[in-house]
Structure 1
């Protein structure tokens, strides 16, 4: 688990909360975007990147609607723009 995800955990064994999932997806998005910058013709990875971005977007919308304080915390912790 990434350092950012560790900071957003609710409890010790938390792996499924929206906050942790967003942090893990953010790490995946960063690595995939770096990979795609190097290998521009890798269409399979670009599809995976789009899926990860869309999943993170849906989770962020859920947090914004249901847990606004947590939403703001996640945005500041992960340096995301919204």
Structure 2
């Protein structure tokens, strides 16, 4: 599987503060971004995989909701996170 325990723990350690803090908004956004990038690469090779395309759109919507929440709660964390993850161009 593309997302092993070690990769997931590393994502949460880097963005969520600790490996056990899997519910943090920053950690969830980072995890969604990793998954979105993986699915995007998959769809570049398999452009007729509509089920994956649908799940990608749903995942982007979830990330968007979390980003909106983080923007309302703490604008500085929001700005640093999008810069670190390279979400905005």
Structure-1-length-normalised TM-score = 0.89
Note the residue ranges of structure 1 that are not aligned, 5 or more in a row. none
Give ranges in structure 2 of 5+ residues lacking alignment: 1-7
Structure with higher RCO (Cα < 8 A, 6+ apart): 1
Deviations 1:26-50, CA, capped at 9 Å, x for gaps: 0000010111110011000000000
**Corresponding residue of 2:32:** 25
Aligned residues: 82
Partner residue of 2:55? 48
**Inter-partner Cα distance in structure 1 for 2:12 and 2:36:** 14
RMSD: 1.6
Verify the 8 A CA contact 2:39 2:56 in the aligned structure 1.
yes
Runs of 4+ in 1 over 3 A off after TM superposition: 2-5
Query: Structure 2-normalised TM-score?
Result: 0.83
The structure 1 residue matched to 2:74, chosen from 67, 71, 74, is 67
Q: For residues 6-55 of structure 1, what are the alpha-carbon distances to aligned partners after superposition, in whole Å with 9 as ceiling and x for unaligned?
A: 21123441101110000000000001011111001100000000011000
For the Cα contact (< 8 Å) 2:11–2:30, is it kept in 1? Answer: yes
